[in-house]
Homo-oligomer: A and B are copies of this chain.
């Protein structure tokens, strides 16, 4: 299948870092979660689709964007998941999520730990103002640089993990607590994470 990429703007803090901001500005297709359209308007960037339950949109905005609004009122999924599902249905299979952190802390944790469920169906990553979260469902190499701060989050504590080229190596180890895989560091221009289990989430800080 040909790769079709889109950027999803979630309704957390609007990006301030140049890296996610540039990706948003140069995206050919922006899917906006519900109320985030207000922030996109303020930044003078054009949305191509607005997805959500629309409970935070004024009537004026609903009229203005009626041609690109996709209303899903399902209360069992959050707005980010609605946007991801809309992308899938519309054959966008390479997704970058921005604006999903900052603001409500519980939303942010929810958004980050939803990433593995998305990656089973598409290529996905989340860019914050500080770094990148990449969900993985199979062992792989990561491009890096010497000294890059790296954290490994293991949502299922029974997952066994082996790393190569990180300062604190894991060898068939489990991470029982979510904080245990944080604050690692790359030793070169790539590192590798092998694991047996459902999924991991890898955090890499941006190059300064």
Contact = CB atoms under 8 A, between A and B. Distances in A.
A101 interface: yes
Interface stretch (A1-9, A90-98, A149-157): A149-157
A113 B203 contact: no
> By DSSP majority rule, is chain A's interface helix, strand, loop, or mixed?
mixed
B203 A178 contact: no
A142 B104 CA distance: 20
Given A155-B178, A157-B156, A157-B157, A128 B114 contact: no
Given A110-B179, A178-B155, A183-B110, A105 B78 contact: no
Interface residues of A, number: 32
A203 B177 CA distance: 18
A205 interface: yes
A103 interface: yes
Contacts of A131: 104-106
Interface string A80-123: 00000000000000000000011111110111111001000000
Contacts of A128: 105
Given A113-B177, A177-B113, A106 B156 contact: no
Interface in A69-85: 78
A149 B106 CA distance: 9
Interface of A: 78, 101-107, 109-114, 117, 128, 130-131, 133, 149, 151, 153, 155-157, 177-179, 182-183, 203, 205
